[in-house]
Amino acid sequence: MSRIGIIGAGSIGSAFALLFADAGYRVRVYDPDLSAAARSQETISNRASQLAQYGLLRSDHERISRLIDYVPTVAEAVNEALLVQESGPEDVVQKRQIFADLTAATSPHTILASSSSSIPTSRFVPETSAERALIAHPGNPPYLLRIIEIVGNPATSEEVLSRAESIYAKADLTPVRIRQEIEGFVFNRLQGAVLREAYALVSEGTVDPDGLDTLVRDGLGLRWAVLGPFATSDLNVRGGIRAHAKRMGDAYQRMASGRGPSEAWTEAMIDEVEAARRREVPLSSWDDAVADRDLELMKLLNSRQPNLRKEDR
Amino acid sequence: MSRIGIIGAGSIGSAFALLFADAGYRVRVYDPDLSAAARSQETISNRASQLAQYGLLRSDHERISRLIDYVPTVAEAVNEALLVQESGPEDVVQKRQIFADLTAATSPHTILASSSSSIPTSRFVPETSAERALIAHPGNPPYLLRIIEIVGNPATSEEVLSRAESIYAKADLTPVRIRQEIEGFVFNRLQGAVLREAYALVSEGTVDPDGLDTLVRDGLGLRWAVLGPFATSDLNVRGGIRAHAKRMGDAYQRMASGRGPSEAWTEAMIDEVEAARRREVPLSSWDDAVADRDLELMKLLNSRQPNLRKEDR
């Protein structure tokens, strides 16, 4: 069997359908909202042609469409699936119901994965299927940020985790193992650390929101798109990361100490950033701004790996 | 006069010489080490030809070389300069001496800028020239991360700050105004916030250093190379950054509260990251890894702004 089941045909579920079909898997998608299928098909069709333009598709649009079926029941979606990717609402009560249904409808060999960004599987999987349940949290959008956080619960078997990782790797997502069910996992904890310092800097009047975003986009973020933070520090000081820690460690500790551990995001600081963002992007242009972001990401990916995708074919 | 003086011909001083000459300024460089000039010329020559290959040079190599002179005294370097870019050692005692010399050797119209990443001008400029002194802190490498932090001291005049900003903008560096002499300014405070959470995550066993770097390089960092953190959050939740703060603020606050405010970087956590980095890049290959980073950055810049540089010519 080389079939994947997707529960939920929203933007994340549709993205997974596209990624798995592009890797050659047969995909069955279930959504309780019957009108979701048409929207999902259109999304996948648009995305697939954009990705193809930038050399980021291994297969082609027609083949992808042929591999994806929308089905009217959970049972049909998950029957004989290697892996089920649950991409429903971020709500623990709904996930409990969905995972009870999935446990009943699947064989013990089917991996049960959830796209949740914040709720660990311990909080919603039945004991009987905990061994084959895990979080597989993608970036947004998943077909452009080609990483996925793999988080087991204490009962998840190593065999299931590594089998899941090899399935995601086939769909061109680099799996990163997260070894504790920590809130925010790693991706969102790092994002939270930046936002916390960013809000504090704006709030105290050190920099305005646009200036801060510019420093990241054309500076820190550009470099982090080439090297992660440890690799960046390693190459910033001759002698590597140990020399970096010796030179910079005390200063970074002082900077961290200056921030209280638990300041809430205040209304005033959100107001200031919101006003700056609306000057840049009125809410009426929000969808266009998202589309522009994705085009820029496609250009970067295209430039970064000029030959990789073709070799993959 | 359209002349720039550079004090210090190391990697940062040489990078500024290249940037200013590419913008058409006459540049005079002084370094107390007489052998520094030859190395600096070679560095600039190599960098200029790489940048030209990727469409990231406005001028050409020969014209740049003709515009840069290496001179044997501070007085010759700064005579009739619009702006002096001090790029000497990160040492407050040496900077005090250099800025005393610069104050004596320049007219009151010359802007005195320091590349310091950590020592604010209040700590080393004489009172008599404080009004025309500021920090202009670049990214590394400065000709690829095209941003610069502009930090006045309390006496720096607004006229000087905006004149400096327009000079850097001509050299294709986007100036970002930092309104307080805060340790680490903004660039390094954001970097410190990420490193602090990154070290904590590795240290507690949540993720290994390579996995964390992968999540940033192919995920968060790639997206931050397109949009800064506020713009990213603004587009991650329909309704914009206010809706994002409402949905995510409490979770981010909980994540921050879980970290003590002032943990030092321990030897054990540095050892672990160092070992992972050395498996990736032995110190004997460090210079090659830096060169590879810069080539990747050039590719990204080239893809991001395919037509901009040509229009600038």
The 10s digit of each residue's pLDDT in B117-141 is 989 999 999 999 999 999 999 999 9
Q: B226–A264: do the CB atoms touch at under 8 Å?
A: no
The tally of CA atoms less than 13 A away on the side-chain side of residue A305 is: 17
Per-residue pLDDT tens over the stretch A135-177: 999 999 999 999 999 999 999 999 999 999 999 999 999 999 9
Say if residue B305's pLDDT is above 70.
Answer: no
Query: Quick check: A12 contacting B, CB < 8 Å?
Result: no
Q: Tell me the mean pLDDT in the region A237-255.
A: 85
Q: Is the pLDDT confidence value at A25 over 90? A: yes
- Domain covering B188-280 assigned CATH 1.10.1040.10 in the classification: yes
A195, A230, A252 ranked by CB distance to B273: nearest? A230
As a CATH number, domain A187-280 is: 1.10.1040.10
In sequence order, which residues have a C-beta less than 8 Å from that of residue A295 and are 6 or more positions away? Answer: A50
Percent of chain A with pLDDT over 70: 94
Q: Which segment of A78-82, A168-172, A283-287 scores lowest on mean pLDDT? A: A283-287
* Amino acid A262: pLDDT: 52
A312 confidence band (pLDDT: 50, 70, 90):
very low
For the stretch A87-97, pLDDT in tens is: 999 999 999 99
Q: Are the beta carbons of A29 and A77 closer than 8 angstroms? A: yes
Top-confidence residue, B48 or A277: B48
Mean pLDDT of B14-36: 96
Residue B201 confidence (pLDDT) above 50? yes
Gap between the Cα atoms of A231 and B292, Å rounded: 12
Residue A38 pLDDT class (50, 70, 90 cuts) = very high
Quick one: closest CA in A to B260, which residue? A261
Q: Is the pLDDT of residue A307 over 50?
A: no
Q: Would you say residue B73 has pLDDT above 90?
A: yes
If DSSP states are collapsed to H, E and C, what string results for chain A?
Answer: CCEEEEECCCHHHHHHHHHHHHCCCEEEEECCCCCHHHHHHHHHHHHHHHHHHCCCCCCCHHHHHHHEEECCCHHHHHCCCCEEEECCCCCHHHHHHHHHHHHHHCCCCCEEEECCCCCCHHHCCCHHHHHHEEEEEECCCCCCCCEEEEEECCCCCHHHHHHHHHHHHHCCCEEEEECCCCCCCCHHHHHHHHHHHHHHHHHCCCCCHHHHHHHHHHHHHHHHCCCCHHHHHHHHCCCHHHHHHHHHHHHHHHHHHCCCCCCCCCHHHHHHHHHHHHHHCCHHHHHHHHHHHHHHHHHHHHHHCCCHHHHHC
The token pair that represents A297 in the structure block:
């990401």
- pLDDT surpassing 70 at residue A230: yes
Listed range (A100-109, B3-12, B195-204, B207-216) with the worst mean pLDDT: B195-204
Question: What is the SS3 assignment for B149?
Answer: strand
Report the amino acid identity of residue B47: R
For chain A, the domains span 3-178, 187-280
Percent of chain A residues past pLDDT 90, beyond the cut? 70
Amino acid identity of A57? L
B156-189: pLDDT as tens digits: 999 999 999 999 999 999 999 999 999 999 999 9
pLDDT of B208 > 60? The answer is yes
Q: Is B38 on the interface with A (CB under 8 A)?
A: no
pLDDT at residue A263 tops 80: no
Between positions 66 and 105 of B, the ones with CB within 8 A of A are none
CA B253/CA B247 separation, integer angstroms? 12
Q: Which residues in chain A are closer than 8 Å to B303, comparing Cβ atoms? A: 299-300, 302-304
Q: How far away is chain A from the Cα of B32, in angstroms, using its nearest Cα? A: 22
Average pLDDT, chain A: 91
Q: Which two tokens stand for residue B68?
A: 């840069």
- pLDDT (tens digit, 9 = 90+) per residue, B228-279? 999 999 988 888 888 888 888 888 888 877 776 555 667 776 787 888 888 8
Size of interface A-B (CB pairs under 8 A): 371
| Confidence label for A274 from pLDDT (cuts 50, 70 and 90) | confident
Q: What is the pLDDT of residue B259?
A: 76
- Give me the pLDDT at residue A223, please: 93
Q: What is the ipTM of this complex?
A: 0.92
Q: B144 to chain A nearest CA, in Å?
A: 8
Mean predicted confidence (pLDDT) in B280-304:
85
Instruction: State mean pLDDT over A212-216.
Output: 96
Overall average pLDDT of the B91-114 stretch: 97
The candidate with the shortest Cα–Cα distance to A76, out of A51, A111, A101, is A101
The closest CB to that of B214, out of A147, A263, A273, belongs to: A147
Residue of chain A with shortest Cα separation from B183: A255
B3-178 maps to CATH 1.10.150.120: no
